Amino acid sequence: MSSSPLLTLEQALEKMLSHVSPLSNEHNQTISLTQAMGRISATAIVSPVNVPPFDNSAMDGYALQAVDIPSNGTLPVIGTAFAGRPYSGEWPSGTALRIMTGAPVPTSAAAVIMQEQAETTDQGVRFVAPVAIGQNIRRIGDDIHLGDKVFEAGRLLGIAELPMLASLGIAEVEVTRRLKVALFSTGDELQPIGAALAEGQIHDTNRFAVRLMLEQLGCEVLDLGIIPDDADALRQAFSQAAAADLIITSGGVSVGEADYTKSILEERGEINFWKLAIKPGKPFAFGRMGSAWFCGLPGNPVSAAVTFYQLVQPLIARLSGRQGWHLPTRLRARALTPLKKQPGRMDFQRGIFHRNERDEMVVASTGHQGSHVFSSFSAANCFIVLAAEQGPVKAGDWVEIEPFNPLLQQ
């Protein structure tokens, strides 16, 4: 397997997504809208009502009947219609009805004239602009008709979607179950965050970062902690993780590291691929362990974050049944700083982009791009994506950038 050519990012992603299917719908849940933020709709959602539910006024103004259009004289005002308090009296021709925004429009009304186009006197109201039949009346169902499909299955429910459902009187929604992800780190050098460190030890920041990203993606996380470089301990961890939909490990997949993860995968499951032609993130593994999918992230923090963002994030979207998901479109920007690059692997450098005074997109490196330098993410708002065949970049050259989506930047 080591002699095989390294997969490109595109090839790896195609392999991953072609293997997996959305979770079974047998465990869908029906929950209240107040609990549905960040969940994914399991079925298409159909409107149970018309929106608006009745003809209503789009303006504060005056309603006229068709027989009084055009109106060249002064019309007496017969009464007032309010939102929530419609006018219920008689409405003879030759009169106008004062009406407020959102108020039900009587069936005989043909138009509403905004109050800014009206002049009032003791005798009534006259209009100083032409009047067209139907103007400023929002008809029943103008926005949404009863039975219209509002959202497809697989829609991520958020700020734009949930208030819309509330406006339709929908109090509950059927959603897919949360993806269950088992997570652990491997390495004798790792210690929990906050623990005192002996010489040669480091804090387990990868598992912490990955857990945050998983929770932001709406996953249920089974955190199995830190597993030592021991075959029996690793087998036990994989056994505990077996009930998950997806198993993610951090560390233990690089050349030179203890080969326990690879051997146990080959023993209990299957390995689809092990290395990629990307930087950082070459030692990324994908396979299957029983009924669970497996992603092995590199141990270096930046490598783990890049591979999670570029590969695990779309995998989770597919498993969760989310439709229409994609990474932000890549853009062209002019490099403000030189960029080191050797041909051979696609490189995801961290950068800061903005538009300059000439409305030109420009980008600068965040500095040292080592796979262990997580601070390169803290200041960044994009990846600078350098193709495999690309060499060094000079200041002023055009490059491709990929703005971060909300997983990395709120």
**Residue where a domain stops, chosen among 110, 138, 166:** 138
3-state secondary structure 229-298: CCHHHHHHHHHHHCCCCEEEEECCCCCCCCCHHHHHHHHHEEEEECCECEECCCCCEEEEECCEEEEEEC
173 contact partners, CB below 8 Å, separation of at least 6? 30, 31, 33, 36, 39, 41, 45, 157, 165
In a domain, 308, yes or no: yes
Handedness of CA 330, 334, 339, 342 (dihedral sign): positive
**Residue where a domain stops, chosen among 271, 288, 320:** 320
Buried-exposed string 251-275: b where 16+ CB fall within 10 A, e elsewhere: bbbeeebbebbbebbeeebebbbbb
Mean pLDDT is lowest, of 40-49, 140-149, 164-173, 254-263, for 254-263
185, 154: one domain: no
33, 172: one domain: yes
Instruction: Report how far residue 184's alpha carbon sits from residue 326's, in angstroms, rounded to the nearest whole number.
Output: 27
Compute CA 119 distance to the chain's CA centroid, rounded to the nearest angstrom: 50
Mean pLDDT is lowest, of 239-253, 258-272, 278-292, 316-330, for 258-272
**64-73: per-residue pLDDT in tens?**
999 999 878 8
Which CATH number fits the domain that encloses residue 335?
2.40.340.10
| Mean predicted lDDT score pLDDT of the chain | 92
**Residue where a domain stops, chosen among 138, 163, 198:** 138
Closest by CA position to 268, among listed 250, 241, 249, 245: 241
In a domain, 325, yes or no: no
343, 382: one domain: yes
Pick the residue with more confidence: 255 or 194? 194
pLDDT value of position 257: 53
Q: Which residue has tokens 């560390």?
A: 251
pLDDT value of position 327: 84
Confidence of residue 367 (pLDDT cuts 50, 70, 90): confident
237, 284: one domain: yes
Give residue 98's domain range: 56-138
**141-200: per-residue pLDDT in tens?**
999 999 999 999 999 999 999 999 999 999 999 999 999 999 999 988 888 888 998 888
Confidence of residue 1 (pLDDT cuts 50, 70, 90): very low
pLDDT value of position 259: 63
**326-363: per-residue pLDDT in tens?**
888 899 999 999 999 999 999 999 999 999 999 999 99
C-alpha triplet 380, 305, 155: angle, nearest 5°: 90
192, 313: one domain: yes
pLDDT value of position 372: 56
160, 186: one domain: no
In a domain, 1, yes or no: no
pLDDT value of position 240: 95
What phi and psi values does residue 403 have, to the nearest 5 degrees?
Answer: -60, 140
Pick the residue with more confidence: 403 or 371? 403
In a domain, 4, yes or no: no
Give the pLDDT mean for 203-222.
94
Confidence of residue 2 (pLDDT cuts 50, 70, 90): very low
203, 301: one domain: yes
Confidence of residue 276 (pLDDT cuts 50, 70, 90): very high
Number of domains forming the structure of the chain: 4
Give the pLDDT mean for 320-329.
90
Give the pLDDT mean for 100-114.
97
pLDDT at 256 over 60: no
Find out whether 137 and 118 touch, Cβ atoms under 8 Å: no
Q: Which two tokens stand for residue 138?
A: 């929002």
42, 169: one domain: yes
**376-405: per-residue pLDDT in tens?**
778 899 999 999 999 999 999 999 999 999
Closest by CA position to 320, among listed 218, 247, 404: 218
